[in-house]
Amino acid sequence: MSTPSSATPTPNAPTRVGDWRVLVQLGPFLKPFWGRILIALLCLLAGKAAGLSVPLLLKSLVDGLNVEASLLAVPVALLLAYGAARLSERVFTELRQIVFARVMERTTRTVVLRVFRHLHALSMQFHLERRTGGVARDIERGGGAISDLLDWALYTILPTLLEVTVVAIILLTLYDAGFALIMFGALIAYVAWTIAVTEWRTRFYRASVEADTQASAAAVDSLINYETVKYFNNEEHEAQRFDRSLRDAEEANIRARKTLAVLNIGQNAIISLGVTALMWRAASGVVAGELTVGDLVLVNAYLLQLAIPLNLLGMMYREVKQALTNLERLFGLLGEQLDIKDRPDAAPLSTARPEVRFEAVRFGYDPRREILHGIDFVVPPGGTVAVVGHSGSGKSTLSRLLYRFYDVQGGAIRIDGRDLRELTQASLRQAIAIVPQDTVLFNDSILYNIRYGRPAASREEVEAAARAAHIHDFIVALPDGYETAVGERGLKLSGGEKQRVAIARALLKNPAILIFDEATSALDSKSEKAIQAELDRIQQGRTTLVIAHRLSTVMNADQILVMDAGRIIERGTHAELIALEGHYAAMWRLQQERRDAVHAPQDQSSLR
């Protein structure tokens, strides 16, 4: 069986698209929620307005405490207003969260689902060149980054900048320009330091993300192939391979943490200097009699109110940059081009007994190495054509091309006279069912795996397909029957049991075209005879392509094609090819000799 190869594998990391491009790509996903976003922003503004009024009320409250006893109603009113402002700030903040929660979660779900669908639409070549664990990790991080980006950027960084601006205006209005100049000076220095250092350390975060993706890919790859690891006693080898990825992640994360410490030290130094300068300016004003104690309290309250978000501003910016990096990888996956896509005028395939025709088909997984060299044959409506040959002759490539996992590079494949490229992929694949040589099942129940052939099928239809595949009795004898879990990739079932599940799944689909790719290779001789008789019956009335190594399974085919090195070297019925005394006849004799050699010891022992 030929396997795809690539001389220059695609890197695991998606192509960079840039921060602004990421934001532009995210925009359309937010468009349906502009109403909610506007309401959330109004709640945000109301909450900030209430929060900013608190220091002003506090100043009036402190100054009002010096009034005569007969006027004590004024401080009481201010106290009530102060409490109401505090409560309003919290209420509006939570209301914003309630309104915006749907936006974050629905946007995340929509984007991740779009990426998931896009990944299934990409060609087989893409998936052969990418590591599943790495792709899954990129999706996981990218999905979380959407909520982080929206929350930090829209409802934390923007409000903080707005709050700083309003406070500066208040200080400039109530006091001299010195207060505003000190605040803006500290803010400019803070932002400049944050941006410069964060940009510098973003490359370290990118390196840690890449290392984390590689570690995840290595872990998933090893665990999926758990059985192979055990066969070759390579647990320590896998641990060392995984540890190399973890070591890279460790070094990248250490560099990221060290540079984070540098960022935090600089930010805190700037904030501390700014706060100290403002408090010195306010205290000097009180001592000089230019300001009241309430003024000092107001300045202090605003500083305390701004200190926390300003201290967090660097972390917010860092989180936004990291979210953009993760989203960049997610949208990078979404930006992968479809190698195989429907034409604008593609038509659905509707057929019951189609004719399948290969016309001078040329193809290679790598353009520099052609696998098929001008393949010509016809599977008549309702007929059966078998393809035999040694491993690597290109037999299984025929089924991949018929499914249009790849497009031919020369010639054409036609169904009822129509080129596959003129048909929609969905309708084409709906008309075909395959029983592959290597049956991989989902980690779910036997019922789910058989029903996967037609998800809307009833329980009775599933059981009928299982009976036809001679696996129903085995299933009902299990403790959990059809609800028995098959394990990762079906490893709880034997090779023959998995293959019969695959046969039942294909039968349930009830396709117009059947492909058997070494469909009985995992069965013993007794089971093979029973299944083969059933397969012969199933093929009646269906256009069938049989790819086989055991020649005994294709004796009844309408035509047998013998392939070697990507070419058809012989064709005819079983009897015609035996009479030809060529390549097929030699293969037949060799397989008969092997069969006789296997049964000979049994026959001799029975004579003793």
pLDDT at 69: 45
CB 77 within 8 A of CB 84: no
d(CA 122, CA 341): 9
d(CA 136, CA 276): 49
d(CA 232, CA 123): 32
Per-residue 3-state assignment (H helix, E strand, C coil) for 231-251:
HCCCHHHHHHHHHHHHHHHHH
Q: Is the dihedral of CA 170, 175, 181, 182 positive or negative?
A: negative
pLDDT at 128: 65
pLDDT at 65: 61
Q: What is the per-residue pLDDT across 100-137, written as a single tens digit (0 to 9) for each? A: 777 778 888 888 888 888 887 776 677 766 666 667 77
CB 111 within 8 A of CB 32: no
Q: What is the per-residue pLDDT across 532-589, written as a single tens digit (0 to 9) for each? A: 776 777 777 789 999 887 787 788 888 999 998 888 998 998 899 898 888 888 888 8
pLDDT at 74: 47
- Find where tokens 């695991």 sit: 12
Helix and strand numbers (H, E) in the chain are 19, 10
pLDDT at 561: 92
CB 571 within 8 A of CB 562: yes
Average pLDDT over the chain, rounded to an integer: 78
DSSP H or E segment with residue 97: helix 73-121
Q: Which residues of 222-235 are buried (b: 16+ CB within 10 A; e: fewer)?
A: bebeeeebeeeeee
Q: What is the per-residue pLDDT across 199-254, written as a single tens digit (0 to 9) for each? A: 787 777 777 777 877 777 778 777 777 666 766 677 788 888 888 888 888 888 88
- Beta strands 410-415; 418-419: pairing state: antiparallel
For the cut 50, the answer to whether the pLDDT of residue 5 exceeds it is no
For the cut 70, the answer to whether the pLDDT of residue 47 exceeds it is yes
d(CA 441, CA 497): 11
374: left (phi over 0), alpha (psi -120 to 50) or beta: left
Distances (CA, A) of 374 to 130, 394, 412, 533: 30, 12, 10, 33
Best-predicted range by mean pLDDT among 179-188, 363-372, 389-398, 569-578? 569-578
pLDDT at 10: 39
pLDDT band, residue 295 (cuts 50/70/90): confident
Structure tokens at 540: 């009646």
CB atoms closer than 10 angstroms to residue 277: 17
Q: What is the per-residue pLDDT across 470-513, written as a single tens digit (0 to 9) for each? A: 889 889 998 888 898 887 767 788 877 888 888 888 888 888 89
Q: What is the per-residue pLDDT across 373-395, written as a single tens digit (0 to 9) for each? A: 989 999 999 889 999 988 778 88
**Which amino acid belongs to residue 179?**
F
Own/partner pairs, 227-236, CB within 8 angstroms, 24+ separation:
227/491
CB atoms closer than 10 angstroms to residue 150: 20
pLDDT at 359: 92
Best-predicted range by mean pLDDT among 64-78, 171-185, 539-553? 539-553
pLDDT at 588: 86
For the cut 70, the answer to whether the pLDDT of residue 308 exceeds it is no
Assign domain 105-334 to its CATH superfamily.
Answer: ABC transporter type 1, transmembrane domain (1.20.1560.10)
CB 271 within 8 A of CB 186: yes
CB 12 within 8 A of CB 131: yes
CATH number for the region 356-431+511-607 comes to 3.40.50.300
Domain boundaries, the chain: 105-334, 356-431+511-607, 441-504
- Beta strands 559-564; 543-548: pairing state: unpaired
